[in-house]
Amino acid sequence: MNRRILIGIVVGGVSLFMLVRALQHARRPAWESHITGDAAARAGIAAVEKGEHAEAARALEFALRKPRLEVADADVYQALGKAYVGMDRTGTGESRLHEGFVLQGLAHRMRGDVGKAEAAYAAAERARPDYALAYESLGALRLAQGRHQEAIVQLERAIALDPAKAITRSNLALAYASVGRFAEADVQVQQAEHLGYPKVERLRSLVKDRRARSAVER
């Protein structure tokens, strides 16, 4: 093959590759080039308000993978939850309604609005009765409220659906210990350790403290 033709083919191929890359880059939103997630979070929140739910979800999911300086987690969770709910109502892709309600519940809990958090978690359970995170989230909330028997019911449901979640077993261990079911608490501590729970020594200490307190109260 003529050398000039060969050089022309190579140069043309490189130019075409660079053109394609340039077009791909031009189509990427500006927030994707940021080191932090602030720009993506703001873009996502704005998109939710405009009803652009799929675009909002993409930006907010990106934002949650990055550190943020100003936009709070609760605001991102709330907006992403709205985006998932909005996508479901407009029939955009696979339903993520249950995830949307849990995210909104998490945002409400972070802001201290327990009533709204409870309502959101209950909505997630109704939207998808086999969604373990809905029961886990409500169980964790009940545990924090000191409503231990109710926490146990929710956390046991979560484990029945997803037995490999270490944090759920940790919370259930604390709930069991809080009502004097120490043998069951110990089993959950062991399961949490087996699943790689990073704060297992702290968990053991909390269960031990509850056991000692129970012995004194007798």
pLDDT digits (tens, 9 = 90+) for 89-142: 888 778 999 999 999 999 999 999 999 999 999 999 999 999 999 999 999 999
Share of the chain above pLDDT 70, in %: 87
Domain 34-128 adopts which CATH fold?
A: 1.25.40
Question: How much is the average pLDDT of 78-96?
Answer: 91
Ordered DSSP codes for 48-90:
HHHT-HHHHHHHHHHHHTS--SSS-HHHHHHHHHHHHHHHHHT
CATH superfamily of this structure's domain 130-218: Tetratricopeptide repeat domain (1.25.40.10)
For 22-41, write each residue's pLDDT tens digit. Answer: 444 445 788 888 889 999 99
Report the distance separating Cα 215 and Cα 45, nearest Å. Answer: 52
130-218 and 34-128 share a CATH fold: yes
Question: pTM for this one?
Answer: 0.83
pLDDT at residue 211, as a whole number: 93
Report the distance separating Cα 95 and Cα 46, nearest Å. Answer: 22
Q: Helices 166-178 and 148-161 meet at what angle, rounded to 10?
A: 150
pLDDT at residue 2, as a whole number: 56
pLDDT at residue 26, as a whole number: 43
pLDDT at residue 91, as a whole number: 82
For 42-67, write each residue's pLDDT tens digit. Answer: 999 999 999 999 999 999 999 999 99
Mean of the per-residue pLDDT values of the chain: 89
Question: How much is the average pLDDT of 68-90?
Answer: 95
pLDDT at residue 4, as a whole number: 58
Instruction: Give me the residue spans of the domains in the chain.
Output: 34-128, 130-218
Q: How confident is the model at residue 205 (pLDDT cuts 50, 70, 90)?
A: very high
pLDDT at residue 47, as a whole number: 96
pLDDT at residue 3, as a whole number: 58
Report the distance separating Cα 204 and Cα 206, nearest Å. Answer: 5
Is 152's pLDDT higher than 50?
A: yes
